[in-house]
Amino acid sequence: MPPGIFIDIHRHGKGEGRVIVNFDTSEWTGKEHWDGYYSLGIHPWFIGRQDCRAALQTLESALADANLLALGECGLDRLVGAPFSEQESIFIAQLELAEQCGKPVVIHCVRAFNELLRIKSKRKSSVPWIVHGFNNKPSIAAWLVDRGCYLSFGKALLHPNSNAAKVLPAVPGDRTFLETDDSGLGIDSIYRAAAAILQIDLPELQQHLENNFNRVFLHD
Ligand SMILES: [Zn+2]
């Protein structure tokens, strides 16, 4: 097998190799200032720091950019951020934009999985949903996977007793992604931890995740 590549589907700040760098609309300065892959969205934590109507327009005008691989991160957070009903309407507005351009959404969800799945079944969204930074109970993972979601795992995999490490082997390989998020780690360390947990060789894992990336983000 030829040497594989590392793919980081969600990172804040520049990274090595194939990486989707995430920007909140409040920090986005325009595609003329960025030449790599990116995701762009309104994070539930940052709703209050921006004019969301203008932010949605910014987002809409970026939809056709080939380097914009996903909408997000966006979603719901019971612990931090704007009032929940406002979070929900901003999230739904972003789902509609994702639907318009057929691109996946990267989802931030904290203590709101019931609401997330209610929205998912109600809207019959046709684009892939990727729940990022997954580190939750196996029952929630199974629930999300049954409803067609993808799960992305990050630094929690470095801790063998984390929920993420327990859940990973139960998630179908074609629904899995890896990420560094804001950890500052190299994506290779996350890959090595995942390969060890799954008891597979690194090149095999790389091949799976490259196939997933091509299918979900590049529509190959
Ligand atoms: Zn993030």
Integer CA distances (angstroms), 17 to 95, 104, 189, 196, in order: 28, 21, 14, 21
Tell me the C-alpha distance between 20 and 14, whole Å.
9
Q: What is the CATH number of the domain that holds 91?
A: 3.20.20.140
Averaged over 67-90, what is the pLDDT? 95
pLDDT tens string 15-61: 878 999 999 999 999 988 999 999 999 999 999 999 999 999 999 99
**Residue 50 belongs to some domain of the structure:** yes
**If you write DSSP's letter for every residue of 107-145 in order, what string do you get?**
EEEES-HHHHHHHHHHHT--S-EEE-S----HHHHHHHH
Query: 122 vs 3, which has greater pLDDT?
Result: 122
Distance, CA 1 to ligand 1 centroid (Å)? 32
| Structural domain harbouring 191 | 7-216
Distance, CA 196 to ligand 1 centroid (Å)? 24
**Residue 116 belongs to some domain of the structure:** yes
Can you give the pLDDT at residue 95?
Answer: 97
pLDDT tens string 135-184: 999 999 999 999 999 999 999 999 999 999 999 999 999 999 999 999 99
**Residue 99 belongs to some domain of the structure:** yes
Q: Ligand 1 (ion): which residues have CB within 5 A?
A: 181
pLDDT tens string 186-200: 999 999 999 999 999
Confidence band for 3, pLDDT divided at 50, 70 and 90? confident
Tell me the C-alpha distance between 179 and 154, whole Å.
5
pLDDT tens string 109-141: 999 999 999 999 898 889 999 999 999 999 999
**Residue 182 belongs to some domain of the structure:** yes
**Residue 2 belongs to some domain of the structure:** no
Return the CA Rg of the chain.
16
pLDDT surpassing 80 at residue 220: no
Can you give the pLDDT at residue 194?
Answer: 98
Can you give the pLDDT at residue 2?
Answer: 62
Distance, CA 22 to ligand 1 centroid (Å)? 7
Can you give the pLDDT at residue 1?
Answer: 54
Total number of domains constituting the chain: 1
